[in-house]
Amino acid sequence: MLSGRKSTIWVLPESLEPDPLIADIGEVFPTVIEQVQTTLRTWFDTFDWRLYQRGFYLYYDGVDWNLLKKESEDVVASHTTKVASGTYFAWDFPASRIRSILEPILEMRRLLPLVVHDSSATCLRILNKDEKTVVQVFLEEHKLTDHKSVLRTVRLQNVRGYEKNFRELSRFLGNYGIRQKADLFYPFTKGVELGGRQPLDYTSRFDISLKPEFSARSAMIVIYRQLLDTMQRNESGVLDDLDSEFLHDFRVAIRRTRSGLGQVKKVLSKGITDRAKKDFAWLGSITGPTRDLDVYLLYEKNYRPRLPDGLQGGLDIFFADISERRIIARRKLVQHMQSGKYNQILSTWHDHLYSETENEEAENSGIPVVDLSRDIISQKYRKIIKDGKAITLSSPDEHLHRLRIECKKLRYILEFFSSLFPQKDMKQVIKLLKRLQNNLGEFNDLSVQQDMLRNYHTTLRPGSRKNQDLAASLGGLLTNLYHEQQKVRSGFALRFSEFSADGNALLYKKLFDLKT
């Protein structure tokens, strides 16, 4: 490895004022002082930290977008472009290296400006007797624009071949108590923290830690609280329509809650459960239409390559129309979410989950959660095996859909209670279920799409040239999707045989006391 540029950054202790330090350095070392230009940096990541998770940092300085890798602190891709303010999806970047890296990572998520700071620096060039610069000291100041705080760092920059002077300065700074190392990303990480967040503080995965001795009631309360928290954290992203994942995660939390209410029975009192079931069904219904249209819009990328050039025009019309419908659906959704009813539902639920008193006991609320969870999981497993075995190639589609829903229920329950069982085993259990679910999900997805296109088709009035184009494109798509669905269906038998295999059954026996 050839020796190159090397720099070390420390946090300047709050007790140390920069000016006296500069004066002290100037007294000991021959120094030239220069001001470094101010730069404004905006750091970006998605709500669920997709860049951070993969060791990337991204900032925009008004001219360039720079993508840096954490370990090397090196810019891996840079692009000079203005992206229209507020539209920070990967596809908003012009074709470039930075876009090709961002696209698979961000997918449909929007980049959010998380930290903005104005940085300026005083540079001290330390000279030798030939008045040659042998090391540079930068006293940097980062003004966070949102929080009115100022972060200060000291950076020492080596000059190749003058390492002795670098070490000398580093010792000198050490004498001032400048020892806490920082990195290039310090203004970002510290800024995030001051903004009340932490890197990786949100993930759409359900991750909760329960103890086997928890009562069913306290376990479910912990689970429902976390799901409510997820809803609340996604709420503003839904209202501001930042990207489609906010609504998606919001709805998944609703579905998980409903699944809990329906499957983990008699843990909360009947009154509360009945009411919550009704309320969450309503929440599901008001968020559904927008989500459906989101899904159709996300299909665009998938549909384009299915049709020849001649039929692409019809697709343009179709997606333009879907976008318009979405505007209307969203308007309704926002109205609902700002209504008294909505607020009432969430606050009532919140109060139930956080009230200290357990005034209304229910039949199962006191039994250990681990016992209850075993029962529910075994029961669901048996049902899936029974229903799945009855499915043949000639069964109606409806049977596959029902099985899909049962599998989904099992999946939610497994995820709720996963922390109660050995992790390695749970991984295997979930893996096999997931493979079956993928097959059923894909099958369902393709039926939903065909239904949607068929319904859409029936609303078209014949006659106009535009509608003819549209109908032709829809017809092409329908054929294509149908063939694909047939293929997926033929894969079901294999996936189900894996799931129902003896090995998996033994695992369920061992973990959940399954009785066959």
Partner 1 sequence: MSVIAVYHIKGGVGKTATAVNLSYLSAAGGEKTLLCDMDPQGSTTFYFRIRPVEKFNTRKLLKGGKHIDRSIRGTDFPGLDLLPADFSYRNIDIALDDMKKSRQRISRILKPLRKEYDQIFLDCPPNITLLSENIFYAADHILVPLIPTTLSYLALQQLYRFLDEIEESRSKVIVFFSMVEKRKKMHWEIMRQLIKKKGFVPALIPYLADVEKMGLYRQPVNVAFPHSMAAAAYRSLWTEVSKRIGGE
Strands (E), 166-266: 181-182
CB 167, min distance to partner 1, A: 15
Q: Which is nearer to partner 1, 1 or 393 (CB)?
A: 1
Q: Which two tokens stand for residue 164?
A: 């002795």
Cβ 39 to partner 1, closest distance in Å?
16
The residue written with tokens 């002082």 in the block is 33
| Cβ nearer to partner 1, comparing 105 with 159 | 159
Smallest distance, partner 1 to C-beta of residue 144, A: 27
DSSP codes of every residue in 135-184: EEEEEEEEEETTT--EEEEEEEEE-TT-HHHHHHHHHHHHTTT---EE-T
- Least Cβ distance, residue 211 to partner 1 (angstroms): 57
Rounded-to-integer distance, Cα 414 and Cα 416, Å:
6
Q: Which of 161, 462 has the CB closer to partner 1?
A: 161
Cβ-based nearer residue to partner 1, 161 or 340: 161
Q: Please choose, from the candidates 256, 251, 255, the residue with its C-alpha nearest in 3D space to the C-alpha of residue 238.
A: 251
Quick check: 381 and 514 in contact, CB under 8 A?
yes
Least spacing, CB of residue 133 vs partner 1, in Å: 4
Nearer to partner 1, 4 or 396 (CB): 4
- Beta carbon of residue 5, minimum distance to partner 1 (angstroms, whole number): 8
CB of 131 to partner 1, least distance (A): 6
Q: Which is nearer to partner 1, 184 or 505 (CB)?
A: 184
Instruction: Give least dist CB 31 to partner 1, A.
Output: 14
In terms of Cα–Cα distance, which of 463, 480, 455 is closest to 318? 455
Minimum CB separation of residue 33 from partner 1 in Å reads: 15
Residues that bind partner 1 (CB under 8 A): 2-5, 125, 130-133, 158-162
Distance from the first to the final alpha carbon of the chain: 63
Are the CB atoms for 374 and 421 separated by under 8 Å? no
Minimum distance from residue 284 beta carbon to partner 1 (Å): 55
435: amino acid identity, one letter: R
DSSP codes of every residue in 303-358: HGGGS-GGGHHHHHHHHHHHHHHHHHHHHHHHHHHTSHHHHHHHHHHHHHHH-S--
Residue 278: C-alpha distances to residues 234, 264, 271, 410, 477 (Å): 21, 16, 11, 22, 38
Sign of CA dihedral 421, 427, 432, 433: positive
Q: At 68, is the secondary structure helix, strand, or coil?
A: strand
Tell me whether residue 1 or residue 320 sits nearer to partner 1 (CB atom). 1
The number of C-alpha atoms within 13 Å of 413 and in the hemisphere containing its C-beta is 27
CB of 69 to partner 1, least distance (A): 19
Helix (H, G, I), strand (E, B) or coil at 75: strand
- Which DSSP string corresponds to 82-145? PPPTT---GGGSPSSHHHHHHHHHHTTPPPEEEEEEEEEEEEEEEE-TT--EEEEEEEEEEEET
- Of 4 and 62, which CB lies nearer to partner 1 in the complex structure? 4
Nearer to partner 1 among residue 158 and residue 444 (C-beta): 158
Q: Measured from the CB atom, is 64 or 146 closer to partner 1?
A: 64
Q: Which is nearer to partner 1, 166 or 280 (CB)?
A: 166
